């Protein structure tokens, strides 16, 4: 899977309360949620974001609440991939489960600026910054998780497992 | 193996597990609330099956926006209620309700040695009972509701040893705030935090719940305590099924061991906008407050209300301050009533609410305007968490919140109650 998009850059500890504030959690429609995505730290985000764009952030992206509304809102806003030095663990699971690719890469986080263009080859964990002409190598996605992404997320994966007579322990 | 590894091995039919391994884990209890259940139900429906794997092992608690705060919240609560009744799940209607992480232990639904997953990040609260409990998202919950198991990576365990005797006003909240301040918001990322030491042994169950609750604020997957006499006392009258007490091996491998001498720890306050931005109260300076909130899954239990009442008794809330007290469950509310605490609160000029998450996540019942400051016993103070993005939340213990409500500024309980 190859992704390409313009970079939106953020710092460390971007929490799920600012990705999608709780005052909007009385709705669960991704399109509606997307309208308010990031508004508490970056009012211009939603006007600026284009389909395919990529978020690059520092450490602990997605910390805080378990709300899956956060990756859903980002995905519905058009974000195709998130690259960070590290992710909060619940956000990490949620993003993969709903089919939003995420990559851990120190170098890309450090050497990419806002508005750079990135090309991402997921299976190889390769990130090319075409604006600066440099290539970064991300932490490889564990094969089990690639399977999850390729299946189209956890629900599709579980469907297969149930069909194969697995689970229900 | 550590305590966490023992529990995970037993739930994945393995002799041993070690950190980093991907395993499939059998779960004893699955939880969702009025915010996360609707998404989980939608995903569950996509699986193409009719029934959850075991209705007695799935709990749904309306607590965030109930009693319904507005029409969209009412729709979400309705969707959850209808699913819970259709499937015969464990479900609590408002008259029985409380904040999920207060009522599940209270009703004996979580027991030592359990593996619990919940679509709420503070599911880690149940580690106080010697259970492995961790937060996940709605899709994970949907899948587990169907199969009864879930994939998981075995976390490394960081051991925290608390030695010494704490000062009079130093509670579990102060110890965990101090710890998060020390290791940072991602100090325990992907790890389990095991809390031990003589100071922890001396802690009440309510204080242990408070500490385990905030493990996620340091990025942890779980916080856990060993089971002792106090745990068994708590569990004995509540358990309606058998449970297993696990012990860490003597040669268990810890990723790190961090020791604190609690006799040197002062009451702590976390400044905006991160739970890790902590200071001892003596270094807080003059911070005027507009609101004090005492409640939440962190500090809405009976011990918390007893301490708040001790500080508020015979005193008056500052006339510029709104003091909002929210018992964590109907049982806590009732006990507070029997003990005369509710009267103390109202006479002091506080308002007492029905159990709810309410202001903790900026839902309702105490939203902040721009420029306002709140001292709160909750667990997060991110930008906009309790209302306006230009408001500020200071995290503290119930004793400090009560003292601050009286003086109208951040204050040590010692200043008020000696
Ligand atoms: S009280 Fe606050 S932290 Fe606890 S479950 Fe409710 S919203 Fe979450």
- Computed on alpha carbons and rounded to an integer, the radius of gyration of chain B in Å comes to 20
* Separation of CA B98 and ligand 1 centre (Å): 11
Residue A57: its chain B contacts at CB < 8 A?
none
Q: Find the mean pLDDT for residues A124-140.
A: 94
* Residue B57, helix vs strand vs coil: helix
Residues B383, A40: C-beta atoms closer than 8 Å: yes
* C-alpha span between B31 and B103 (Å, rounded): 12
Chain B residue closest to A159 (CA)? B47
DSSP letter assigned to residue B281? G
Q: For ligand 1, pick from B64, B216, B355, B398 the residue to mutate: most ligand atoms within 8 Å of CB.
A: B64
* pLDDT of A110: 96
pLDDT category at A153 given cuts 50, 70, 90 is confident
Strands B291-294 and B322-325: parallel
Tell me: the pLDDT tens digits for B69-91?
999 999 999 999 999 999 999 99
Select from B36, B223, B28 the least CA-distant residue to B120: B36
Measure CB to CB from residue A63 to each of B26, B119, B219 and give the nearest one. Answer: B219
* Separation of CA A150 and ligand 1 centre (Å): 34
* pLDDT of B25: 97
pLDDT category at A167 given cuts 50, 70, 90 is low
> Is there an atom of ligand 1 within 6 Å of B296 CB?
yes
* pLDDT of A169: 45
ipTM for the predicted complex comes to 0.91
* pLDDT of A123: 83
Q: Find the mean pLDDT for residues B243-261.
A: 98
Task: Let me know: does B175 contact B278? Beta carbons within 8 Å.
Answer: no
* Separation of CA B296 and ligand 1 centre (Å): 6
Which string of DSSP letters, residue by residue, matches B92-159? --GGG-B-HHHHHHHTT-S-TT-EEEESSGGGGGGGGGT-EEEE--HHHHHHHHHHSEEEEEPPPEEE
- φ and ψ of A86, to 5 deg: -155, 160
Q: Find the mean pLDDT for residues B382-388.
A: 96
* pLDDT of A166: 62
* C-alpha span between B374 and A150 (Å, rounded): 46
* Separation of CA B329 and ligand 1 centre (Å): 13
Whether B7-260 and B269-417 share one fold: the answer is: yes
Does residue B234 have a pLDDT over 80? Answer: yes
Task: Kindly report the number of other CB atoms within 10 A of residue B18's CB atom.
Answer: 13
* Separation of CA B46 and ligand 1 centre (Å): 28
The CATH architecture to which B7-260 belongs is 2-Layer Sandwich (3.30)
Q: Find the mean pLDDT for residues B202-230.
A: 98
* Residue B251, helix vs strand vs coil: coil
Task: Let me know: does B177 contact B269? Beta carbons within 8 Å.
Answer: yes
Exposed/middle/buried for B25, CB within 10 Å: 0-12, 13-18, 19+? Answer: buried
Does residue B58 have a pLDDT over 90? Answer: yes
- φ and ψ of A158, to 5 deg: -65, -40
* pLDDT of A164: 85
Q: Under CATH, what is the fold of the domain B269-417?
A: Aconitase; domain 3 (3.30.499)
> Is there an atom of ligand 1 within 6 Å of B193 CB?
no
- φ and ψ of B133, to 5 deg: -130, 135
Task: Kindly report the number of other CB atoms within 10 A of residue B86's CB atom.
Answer: 12
- Nearest protein Cα to ligand 1, atom 5: B297
**Among A148-157, B14-23, B92-101, which stretch is predicted with the lowest mean pLDDT?**
A148-157
Per-domain residue ranges of chain B:
7-260, 269-417
Token duo for residue B401:
């919140």
> Is there an atom of ligand 1 within 6 Å of B122 CB?
yes
Q: Find the mean pLDDT for residues B326-333.
A: 98
pLDDT above 90 as % of chain A = 79
Element (H, E) at B91: strand B90-91
Tell me: the pLDDT tens digits for B313-322?
999 999 999 9
Length of chain A: 169
Token duo for residue B107:
């009703």
CB of B14 within 8 Å of a chain A CB? The answer is no
Residues 28-47 of B with CB under 8 A from A: 35-36, 38-39, 42-43, 46-47
Q: In Å, how far is A6's CA from the nearest CA of chain B?
A: 26
Which string of DSSP letters, residue by residue, matches B284-333? S---B-SEEEE-HHHH-SHHHHHHHHHHHTT----TT-EEEE--SBHHHH
Select from B132, B165, B130, B162 the least CA-distant residue to B150: B132
Tell me: the pLDDT tens digits for B112-137?
999 999 999 999 999 999 999 999 99
Higher pLDDT, B187 or A164: B187
* Cis peptide, bond prior to residue B8, ω within 30 of zero: no
Tell me: the pLDDT tens digits for B154-163?
999 999 999 9
pLDDT category at A1 given cuts 50, 70, 90 is confident
Integer angstrom CA distances of residue A160 from A33, A153, A154, A167: 29, 11, 10, 10
Higher pLDDT, B361 or A143: B361
Exposed/middle/buried for B343, CB within 10 Å: 0-12, 13-18, 19+? Answer: middle
Does residue A161 have a pLDDT over 90? Answer: no
Q: Find the mean pLDDT for residues B87-116.
A: 96
Tell me: the pLDDT tens digits for A12-65?
999 999 999 999 999 889 999 999 999 999 999 999 999 999 999 999 999 999
Q: Find the mean pLDDT for residues B266-283.
A: 98
Q: Report which ligand 1 atom has the smallest distance to the Cα of B100.
A: 5
> Is there an atom of ligand 1 within 6 Å of B99 CB?
yes
Residues 130-169 of A with CB under 8 A from B: 142, 144, 153-155, 157-159, 161-162, 166-169
Mean pLDDT of chain B: 97
* Residue B218, helix vs strand vs coil: helix
Which string of DSSP letters, residue by residue, matches A6-35? EEEE--S--BHHHHS-GGGTT---HHHHHT
């Amino acid at each position: 899977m190859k992704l390409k998009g313009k970079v939106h850059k953020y710092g460390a500890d971007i929490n799920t309360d600012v990705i999608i504030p709780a005052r909007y959690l009385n709705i669960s429609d991704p399109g509606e949620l997307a309208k308010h995505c990031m508004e508490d730290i970056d009012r211009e985000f939603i006007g600026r974001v284009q389909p395919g764009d990529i978020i690059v952030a520092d450490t602990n992206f997605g910390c805080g609440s378990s709300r899956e509304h956060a990756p859903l809102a980002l995905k519905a806003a058009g974000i195709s991939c998130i690259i960070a030095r590290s992710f909060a663990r619940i956000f990490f699971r949620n993003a993969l489960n709903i089919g939003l690719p995420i990559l851990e890469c120190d170098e890309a986080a450090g050497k990419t600026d806002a508005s750079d263009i990135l090309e991402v080859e997921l299976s190889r964990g390769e990130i090319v910054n075409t604006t600066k002409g440099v290539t970064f190598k991300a932490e490889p996605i564990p094969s089990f998780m690639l399977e999850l992404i390729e299946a189209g997320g956890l629900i599709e994966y579980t469907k297969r497992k149930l069909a194969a007579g697995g689970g229900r322990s | 193996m550590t305590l966490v590894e023992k529990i995970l091995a037993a739930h994945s039919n393995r002799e041993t597990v070690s950190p980093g391994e991907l395993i499939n884990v059998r779960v004893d209890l699955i939880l969702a609330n009025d915010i996360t259940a609707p998404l989980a139900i939608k995903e569950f429906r996509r699986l193409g099956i009719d029934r959850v794997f075991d209705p007695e092992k799935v709990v749904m608690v309306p607590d965030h926006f109930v009693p319904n705060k507005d029409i969209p919240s009412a729709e979400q609560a309705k969707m959850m209620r209808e699913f819970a009744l259709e499937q015969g799940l464990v479900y609590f209607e408002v008259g029985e309700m409380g904040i999920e992480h207060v009522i599940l232990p209270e009703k004996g639904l979580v027991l030592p040695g359990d593996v619990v997953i919940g679509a709420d990040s503070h599911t880690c609260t149940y580690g106080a009972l010697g259970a492995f409990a961790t937060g996940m998202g709605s899709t994970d919950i949907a899948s587990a509701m169907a199969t009864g198991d879930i994939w998981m990576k075995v976390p490394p365990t960081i051991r925290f040893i608390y030695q010494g005797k704490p000062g009079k006003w130093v509670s579990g909240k102060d110890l965990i705030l101090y710890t998060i301040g020390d290791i940072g918001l991602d100090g325990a990322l992907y790890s389990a935090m095991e809390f031990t030491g003589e100071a922890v042994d001396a802690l009440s169950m309510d204080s242990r719940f408070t500490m385990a609750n905030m493990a996620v604020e340091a990025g942890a997957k779980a916080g856990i305590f060993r089971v002792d006499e106090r745990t068994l006392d708590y569990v004995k009258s509540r358990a309606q099924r058998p449970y297993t007490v696990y012990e860490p091996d003597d040669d268990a491998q810890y990723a790190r061991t961090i020791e604190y001498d609690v006799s040197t720890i002062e009451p702590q306050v976390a400044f905006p906008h991160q739970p890790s931005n902590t200071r001892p109260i003596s270094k807080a300076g003059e911070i005027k407050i507009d609101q004090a909130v005492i409640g939440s899954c962190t500090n809405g239990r009976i011990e918390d209300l007893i301490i708040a009442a001790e500080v508020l008794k015979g005193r008056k809330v500052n006339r510029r301050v709104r003091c909002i007290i929210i018992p964590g469950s109907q049982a806590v509310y009732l006990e507070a009533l029997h003990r005369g605490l509710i009267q103390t609160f109202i006479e002091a000029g506080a308002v007492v609410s029905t159990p709810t998450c309410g202001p903790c996540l900026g839902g309702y019942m105490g939203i902040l305007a721009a420029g306002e400051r709140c001292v709160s016993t909750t667990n997060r103070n991110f930008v906009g968490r309790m209302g306006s993005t230009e408001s500020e939340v200071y995290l503290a213990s119930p004793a400090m919140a009560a003292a601050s409500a009286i003086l109208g500024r951040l204050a040590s309980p010692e200043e008020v109650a000696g």
